[in-house]
Structure 1
Amino acid sequence: MRGGKRLSRSDVPLQWLYEWVQALVGVVLAVVLLFTFAVRVVLVSGPSMQETLQDQDCLLVLNAPLCGGFETGDIVIIQRDDFRDGEPIVKRIVATEGQTVDIDFDAGTVYVDGQLLEETYIREPTHLEEGLEFPVTVPEGCVFVLGDNRNDSDDSRDPDLGPVDTREILGRAVALLFPGVTAASEERDFGRIGPLD
């Protein structure tokens, strides 16, 4: 080689191994940074979000600092140390700060600012009362969350949780990575994999 050291045959495998290890370390570092600062993986536990989400669904979650705020309809992961032993819970935002939530438990309907919510995603009407007095105006910096399976969900209707401070939200679920067992068929529905929107 002109102007440089000529590589011997024994140096070629070492060069290849060095480049392969360097690439592997770069990939591992990128994955660690991605899952430390940008996203996380969360398993759904229990039936509270059926039929939208099933028990043991594996979700890709965008970490809260990257969400740019939260909106009605977002599926979020919440963690509060004094609620359900600090286990993360998955719920849907139905109202944000300043909005007023009212529930007619006899009719099973939810109202936000006097408007009936069109909730095509719920499993059944909202008949379960958990003790919170309604109507409720969502405080500043908070959201009001409900499970899609309204009659089998611990959510903002429970006075122990109530409106959730957005600082207690770990992130927003953006995609289903791997399906849990669908309750009705006891099988995994791989057709459900993909974005949650």
Structure 2
Amino acid sequence: MSETPKDQEQKEQEQLKETVDEAEALPEADGVSVIDGKKIAREFYDWVEIFVLTIAAILLVFTFLVRIAYVDGPSMNNTLHDKETLAVSNFLYTPKQGDIVVFQSPDSDIPGGIVKRVIATEGQTVDIDFSTWTVTVDGVALDEPYVNYENGLPMRHFDVTFPVTVPENCVFVMGDNRNHSTDSRDSSIGFLDTRFIFGRVLLRITPLSKFGGVD
């Protein structure tokens, strides 16, 4: 017996229902998930919060703990070179012999400060044999592998007469490139008041090929 239009319509509805039921029963394919708008918004907010907190932390560090300085000139060759970027900190800092420091001389207009090495601190006595490049502090000759010696030439002598004793709250500084550095050997700088020290050089930032600490 042939199907009536009503029977055919009922059959089509039953087939459609079976198809829907089968689709709902299918397991979720691997790697495919339903997009949850609230979850995405929540994750986005978390990332934004982390980013903002990170930037805030960096700003706090560079405002209160670290500052940026730039090497100006050849006076610290071959330890540091012209135009290099440095990270400097004075947090809980007391100058020590051998530290590389950045300071602002009262008579200097160099915007990024001056970079030199601390040779002696308050109460210590400095003497220099310019012919042999020998620096002594409290009678002990310093081992200075960082100095850029110029063979056959004496160390440059300025107008300060040696030996000298470093006054209270001051340090005696020199550049590693001794014959191309104006420093505490010159009365225009002389003993450096520690109040003018921005801080100790923590690391070299640029060039990136030399990123890291400095000695």
TM-score, normalization by structure 1 = 0.81
User: Is residue 59 of structure 1 aligned with residue 86 of structure 2?
Assistant: yes
2:66 is matched with: 39
How is 1:35-184 mapped onto 2 (pairs within 5 angstroms)?
Answer: 35-61=62-88, 63-67=89-93, 69-85=94-110, 87-124=112-149, 127-179=155-207
> 1:98-149: CA deviations, max 9, x gaps?
0111112233321211222221110016621221122110001111000000
Is contact 1:80–1:87 with CA below 8 Å preserved after alignment? no
Deviation, 1:87, is 4.8
* Conservation of the 8 A alpha-carbon contact between 1:97 and 1:143: yes
Find the aligned partners of 2:111 and 2:187 in 1 and give their Cα distance: 16
State the secondary structure of the residue aligned to 1:45: coil
* SS of corresponding position for 2:57: helix
> Is 126-135 or 86-95 further displaced after alignment?
126-135
SS of structure 2 residue aligned to 1:25: helix
After TM superposition, give the deviation of residue 97 of structure 1 in Å. Answer: 0.6
- Residues 30/51 of structure 1: CA separation in 2 closer, same or farther (3 Å cut): same
Measure the CA separation in 1 of the matches of 2:198 and 2:50.
Answer: 31
Q: Normalising by structure 2, what TM-score?
A: 0.74
Query: Which amino acid counterpart does residue 54 of structure 1 have in structure 2?
Result: H
**Structure showing the higher strand proportion among its residues:** 1
Aligned CA RMSD, in angstroms, stands at 2.2
Higher-Rg member (1/2): 2
CA contact (8 A) 1:80 1:86 kept: no
Q: Which residue of 2 aligns with 1:193?
A: 211
More helix by share: 2
CA contact under 8 A between 1:132 and 1:159: conserved in structure 2?
yes
The 3-state SS of whatever aligns with 1:65 is: coil
CA distance in 2, matches of 1:65, 1:13: 41
1: CA distance, partners of 2:186 / 2:125: 16
Equivalent residue of 2:91, what SS? helix
How high is the sequence identity, in percent, across the aligned residues?
46
The gaps in structure 2 that reach 5 residues or longer are: 1-34
Figure out how many residues of one structure are paired with residues of the other and give that number: 178
Which residues of structure 1 form unaligned runs of 5+?
Answer: 1-7, 180-187
